Structure 1
Amino acid sequence: MDMLKKVVLIDDDQINNFVCETIIRSENFAERVMSFEWAEDALNNLKQVAVQNPEEFPDLIFLDINMPGMDGWRFLEEYRKLPEQATKKCSLFMLSSAVDREDIICAKTHAEVRDFFSKPLSPEILNLIREDYIS
């Protein structure tokens, strides 16, 4: 499988973002990785890209649930409002330390969410995504 062009991480944990970026790069999973510690900043960036350069919209987004300000659920509500022309090629995955069964069930009820993975991100998770969702 070829590398994805762009992956976006949305997580308020700076260290987790660094670890995820490192794993994504070391596994040749994506050409570019962008991290956002604030869901609002990620959403603003995605809105701008969706309107100005939809072809630059990320191929994949990893989204945390529990974040200050806008949490993952609120982000999903706003993400739905983005132009489908941009979002239709993007796979969105929840990546969270939440182990609440209700969160996992809720994540899977959102059409935008392809799957839910528990942190930490690992090469095994990336391989699973490659095999089951991208190939």
Structure 2
Amino acid sequence: MDRAAAVLFADAAEAAGVRRFVVVSAMGADREPPAGTDPVFAAYLRAKGAADAEVRSRPGLDWTVLRPGRLTDEPGTGLVALGTSTGRGDVTRDDVAAVLVALLDEPRTAGGTLELIGGTVPVDEAVRAAAEG
């Protein structure tokens, strides 16, 4: 979802009285892309960063920003690494979806930005640890 769509979605959540809001972002969206980055991907990262900033600025939302690593189509493992900084790595789309569901049910992650890659910790345990972190 690009910046404009994320803003519209946040507007709709606030208008509907929905407080819990989880954004799927991208690793590297919080800084300028390195020199030599493909221009299309650089624009994507900048848009993700702008969307993240817009969502973070809304006091009416209990937001969490999730920044997964490189997405793969393999079946999910249910095992991840989740934290404020994980380093680069791959993660299955299935595992991203499982983490999103778990984050929605864990309000203590509100106000945080988390990175996600494949790992060795079960999803529920990883989300609980991030919330306590």
TM-score by length of 2: 0.41
TM-score by length of 1: 0.40
